[in-house]
Amino acid sequence: MRCHRCWLPSAPSWTGCWRRYRNGGGVSWAELGDNARDSQAALNRPWFESALAPALHRWPEVEAVLANEGARIADVGCGAGWSTIALARAYPSAAVIGVDVDAPSIQAANANAEVAGVADRATFRVAQGQSLSEFGAVRCCLRVRVRSRHAAPG
């Protein structure tokens, strides 16, 4: 995927983006467009698939909890689901829920989980992180927010 194809179509919205970044606000994928959303997922995927689980494995206390049968992990701001999928692969006994405010990202995440073979233990919801209690995710063993600050509301 070439960067110019992914990010240049969203250039007209950059002025508003910079203003919100400086003031602590977020920018929706709807404003940036599908190419930007898909590009971000493609750029993040290799790290999630190769390095996220090994990073967590470095903490024995975390590893001990997540390896238990019935462990629950909430991935807030999951985007296209690659981080959630990596967590489901790393911890096959855990139930992993990915949440994101962007409906097209959640649609992609569901499709990606199906193809990855983890849809039975990696589920996705359109929601804000504050609403985790609505679907029982408050009692999770681990809540992660990996590379999602760009989408956080101001």
> What pLDDT band is residue 80 in, cutting at 50, 70 and 90?
very high
Q: Give the chain as a 3 state SS string.
A: CCHHHHHHHHHHHHHHHHHHHHCCCCCCHHHHCHHHHHHHHHHHHHHHHHHHHHHHHCCHHHHHHHCCCCCEEEEECCCCCHHHHHHHHHCCCCEEEEEECCHHHHHHHHHHHHHHCCCCCEEEEECCHHHHHHHCHHHCCEEECCCCHHHCCC
CATH code of the domain containing 48? 3.40.50
- Give mean pLDDT, residues 93-111: 94
pLDDT digits (tens, 9 = 90+) for 2-54: 444 555 555 555 666 667 667 776 677 777 778 888 888 999 999 999 999 99
The per-residue pLDDT for 7 is: 52
> What is the total count of domains within the chain?
1
pLDDT of residue 130: 65
pTM across the whole model:
0.78
At 152, the pLDDT band (50, 70, 90 cuts) reads: very low
* Residue-number span of the structural domain to which 124 is assigned: 3-151
